Amino acid sequence: MSYNNIIYEKDERLAFITLNRPEKLNPLSHALRGEVYDALRDAEADTEIGVIILKGAGRAFSAGYDLAPNPDEESDYVSDRSGMPDTGSTHPQHYDWSRHAVMGHWLIWELAKPVICQIHGYCLAGGTELASMCDFRFVAEDTQIGYPPVRAMGTMDMMWAPWLLPVTKAREFAYTGDSFSGKEMADLGWANYALPKEELDETVIRFARRLGHIDNDLLNYNKRAVNRQLEIMGIRTGLMSGTDVEAMSKHRPAAGEFGRRVREGGLKAALEWRDGPFRDFRGAYDSAPKDRPIAGTEEKKTQPGDSDYSR
């Protein structure tokens, strides 16, 4: 297989999929996600592979969906109809992004083989969704994990937080966009283990090889047995219902403010405006506004459709 955005490697019973756009902290573009899905299917079909490890190159696992995609990028791994990875629907409706994203993640859920997510640096927004659909999460203790788009753009595309965090912390995560450390997320149960970064590779591989002693058929049924219990509890309905609420959040009066700021000042300026009062992420920069009016209360009005910068 020939990929431009990921690295795919195999070592005995293990397959490694590495997000490989480190210069931008591995943003989840359509092409990158399409390549990840293709590599997952390749590993699933390979009878020699028992366990899949998903990780990121460079300083981070992933900073989230790509907010500044290359309009000229071409890929063999996206649909000619939609320009996005094929998830069974072309998702033609306005504000249908979150539905598309969640439907793509169900591939990992239904995959016949377990997927271990190895996380370091940053795991933000869409990166948390990709990681949350994996079977296991091993995280560096100092990783920053959060969902800052809920501060100005819209609700979480995939509302995984109530399923994988205690409800009080799920609300904090989903309301504020604040980051939690890898250690905190392990203490809350989202991650299996939090480790010093220098121990992450060795520990993940050791765990994966241990898991790989089990035959593929039984791994498949063990995974399916757990998944079906969660489905009986309503996880499929819950996550898909969350996409409807996310779409509604894009119709609120202030929904277009972020998109307008991207067009007028560029993406970095818009991110500084979003995060400025929180004093984290891009808001930690000296140029970020530490105090600003709440979105939608300023004199300049936004126009319908301005909220297309939605991830």
DSSP H stretches of helix in the chain:
30-45, 97-110, 126-132, 161-164, 167-176, 182-187, 197-211, 216-232, 235-249, 257-265, 267-275
Q: How many CB atoms lie within 10 A of CB 181?
A: 16
Per residue in 172-211, pLDDT (tens digit) is 999 999 999 999 999 999 999 999 999 999 999 999 999 9
Is the domain of 182 the same as that of 222? Answer: yes
CA 10 – CA 172 distance, rounded (Å)? 39
Per residue in 15-52, pLDDT (tens digit) is 999 999 999 999 999 999 999 999 999 999 999 999 99
Which amino acid is located at 164 in the chain? L
pTM strictly above 0.85? yes
Of 13-22, 86-95, 107-116, 238-247, where does mean pLDDT reach its minimum?
A: 86-95
What 3-state class would DSSP assign to 17? strand
User: For the chain, what percent of residues have pLDDT higher than 90?
Assistant: 86
Is the domain of 130 the same as that of 68? Answer: yes
Q: What CATH number is given to the structural domain containing 166?
A: 3.90.226.10
CA atoms within 13 A on the CB side of 205: 8
Q: Which residue has the tokens 């997952």?
A: 40
> What is the domain range of residue 72?
6-231
For the chain, the domain total comes to 2
244, part of any domain: no
- Residue 133 tokens read as 């659909």
Q: For residue 26, what is the DSSP state?
A: -
Phi-psi bin for 281: left (phi > 0), alpha (psi -120 to 50), beta? left
148, part of any domain: yes
- Output the pLDDT for position 308: 46
92, part of any domain: yes
Per residue in 280-297, pLDDT (tens digit) is 999 999 999 999 999 888
